[in-house]
């Protein structure tokens, strides 16, 4: 049986050396990572898939999110490191598992970034005109903007994220409140027009809206006091996200009915304030995308540097793996990968949402690894370990619902195993044999 490593103790009693994140900034990054672009269009897509019963999918995933969030917060507080879930998998199951989960997470970020930015791009195109060309240009612009923010480190991107989170909470809450007087209870019937199995399909789609708890673990070493601050930031994020998600989802069903448009937030705000409010939603969409991708690029860049430090990626990427440093090489790889994904989508004439289910499947696989590692690392008999067990079982169910879209993460995992095998043979090769 693999021994459980003790929690790492930061050299600085106030947290990891160089850590700059405080509780408000950490909560803002978490809210941005989870809230993200899902709230822009997914409420309408879920209604189209399952009708009013899609509210059950939202509620169910919120309930699952609580043990997931507390599990990752506990792991981050005990083992603050830029490797995040990969670090937990390494401690619990060894280097091979760490490389698999690290690769799945790291390479899913550039694959999914065009989809995340594309939701906002659709709103920009709707407001400015120009159709698909405008959407693609806006998508690329958001990716470049977020990369530039992270180039200067969390001192800049963390403060920007705090402002974004405050504006988003105000605008999303306002859109819900002003639209509720137009709600009609008749829109809640028939409750499950497409059958109860459609709720499961909607839930698999909505995983996109709840991914993000895991990315903040890669920022755990950046907190001033990880053991104290991560739990507080996570608690704030859970409360804010629950209120905003349930409010927007209910308003989409009760106000817009069974045929909401592609821009439900815009339609909700227009009902309350008139057509003059439509450009405001474009601003909301852009802020949501910037906030989500900012958190993922910040965490992903640190994950890549940590993986390289631990031998799971080329050592060239390891620069910036120490807390307080900026992992610019890893950030450049994530950014170039995202732009390459956008290029493939553009040239191939594909929908910007094409990678959505593959990306959510990959994040679900990462959740499964993370919660399984928590069962090995967290104290037996504790409530947070019981929550990890609930989260693990829930993610297994979500993996089943993902179905054939797991092919992508399986291929990434195969590449990770090939890397470990080749690297292992090189390290085991005798010096004399190498010279020969």
Integer Cα distance of 239 and 381 in angstroms: 26
Asked if the model's pLDDT at residue 204 lies above 80, the reply is no
Integer Cα distance of 283 and 44 in angstroms: 19
For residue 344, name the pLDDT band (cuts at 50, 70, 90). very high
Number of domain units in the chain: 1
pLDDT value at residue 125: 84
Task: Classify the phi-psi angles of 51: left when phi > 0, otherwise alpha if psi is within -120 to 50, otherwise beta.
Answer: left
The mean pLDDT value for 393-420 works out to 84
**Average pLDDT, whole number, for the chain?**
81
Integer Cα distance of 49 and 199 in angstroms: 8
Inside any domain, residue 40: yes
Inside any domain, residue 160: yes
33-37, 93-97, 396-400: which has the highest mean pLDDT? Answer: 93-97
Other Cβ atoms less than 10 A from the Cβ of 382: the count is: 11
The mean pLDDT value for 293-298 works out to 85
Asked if the model's pLDDT at residue 9 lies above 50, the reply is no
How large a percentage of the chain has pLDDT more than 90? Answer: 16
Q: Which residue has the higher pLDDT, 352 or 144?
A: 144
pLDDT value at residue 249: 86
Are the C-beta atoms of residues 46 and 210 closer than 8 Å to each other? no
Integer Cα distance of 83 and 407 in angstroms: 24
pLDDT value at residue 434: 37
What does residue 381 show for φ and ψ, rounded to 5 degrees? Answer: 85, -5
| pLDDT digits 0-9 by tens, 34-83 | 876 667 777 888 888 888 888 998 888 888 888 888 898 999 889 988 88
Inside any domain, residue 394: yes
For residue 158, name the pLDDT band (cuts at 50, 70, 90). low
The mean pLDDT value for 16-31 works out to 74
The mean pLDDT value for 325-333 works out to 89
pLDDT value at residue 12: 35
Inside any domain, residue 203: yes
Inside any domain, residue 16: no
Asked if the model's pLDDT at residue 13 lies above 50, the reply is no
Q: Which residue has the higher pLDDT, 189 or 91?
A: 91
For residue 19, name the pLDDT band (cuts at 50, 70, 90). low
Integer Cα distance of 432 and 436 in angstroms: 6
For residue 409, name the pLDDT band (cuts at 50, 70, 90). confident
Asked if the model's pLDDT at residue 403 lies above 80, the reply is no
For residue 128, name the pLDDT band (cuts at 50, 70, 90). confident
Inside any domain, residue 436: no
CATH number, domain at 132?
1.20.1740.10
For residue 168, name the pLDDT band (cuts at 50, 70, 90). confident
Domain region containing 29: 23-423
| pLDDT digits 0-9 by tens, 243-281 | 888 888 888 888 887 777 666 777 787 777 777 777 777
Asked if the model's pLDDT at residue 127 lies above 60, the reply is yes
Integer Cα distance of 385 and 249 in angstroms: 30
The mean pLDDT value for 343-350 works out to 89
Inside any domain, residue 18: no
Inside any domain, residue 354: yes
| pLDDT digits 0-9 by tens, 97-108 | 999 999 998 998
């Amino acid at each position: 049986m693999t021994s459980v490593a003790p929690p790492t103790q930061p050299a600085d009693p106030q947290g990891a050396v160089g850590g700059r994140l405080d509780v408000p900034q950490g909560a803002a990054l978490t809210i941005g990572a989870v809230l993200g672009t899902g709230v822009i269009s997914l409420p309408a897509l879920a209604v189209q898939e399952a009708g009013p019963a899609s509210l059950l999918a939202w509620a169910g995933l919120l309930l699952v999110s609580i043990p997931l969030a507390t599990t990752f917060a506990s792991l981050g507080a005990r083992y603050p490191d830029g490797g995040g879930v990969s670090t937990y998998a390494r401690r619990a199951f060894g280097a091979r598992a760490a490389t698999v989960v690290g690769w799945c997470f790291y390479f899913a970020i550039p694959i999914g970034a065009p989809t995340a930015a594309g939701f906002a791009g659709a709103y920009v195109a709707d407001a400015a005109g120009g159709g698909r060309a405008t959407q693609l240009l806006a998508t690329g612009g958001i990716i470049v903007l977020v990369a530039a923010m992270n180039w200067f480190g969390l001192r800049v991107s963390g403060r920007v994220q705090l402002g974004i989170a405050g504006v988003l909470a105000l605008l999303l809450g306002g859109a819900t409140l002003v639209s509720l007087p137009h709600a009609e209870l008749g829109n809640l019937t028939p409750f499950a027009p497409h059958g109860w199995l459609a709720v499961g399909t909607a839930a698999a789609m909505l995983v996109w809206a709840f991914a993000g708890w895991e990315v903040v673990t890669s920022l755990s070493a950046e907190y001033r006091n990880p053991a104290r601050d991560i739990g507080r930031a996570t608690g704030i994020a859970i409360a804010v996200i629950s209120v905003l998600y349930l409010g927007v989802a209910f308003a989409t069903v009760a106000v817009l009915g069974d045929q909401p448009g592609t821009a439900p937030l815009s339609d909700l705000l227009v009902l309350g304030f008139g057509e003059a409010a439509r450009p405001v939603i474009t601003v909301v969409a852009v802020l949501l995308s910037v906030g989500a991708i900012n958190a993922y690029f910040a965490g992903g860049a640190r994950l890549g540097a940590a993986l390289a430090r631990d031998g799971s990626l080329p050592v060239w990427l390891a620069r910036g793996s120490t807390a307080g440093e900026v992992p610019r090489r890893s950030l450049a790889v994530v950014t170039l990968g995202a732009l390459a994904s956008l290029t493939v989508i553009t040239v191939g004439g594909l929908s910007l949402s094409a990678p959505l289910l593959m990306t959510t499947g990959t994040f679900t696989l990462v959740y499964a690894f993370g919660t399984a590692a928590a069962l090995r690392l967290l104290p037996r008999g504790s409530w947070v370990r019981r929550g990890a067990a609930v989260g693990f079982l829930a993610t297994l169910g979500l993996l089943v619902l993902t179905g054939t879209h797991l092919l992508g993460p399986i291929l990434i995992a195969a590449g990770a195993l090939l890397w470990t095998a080749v690297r292992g043979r090189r390290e085991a090769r005798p010096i004399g044999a190498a010279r020969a």
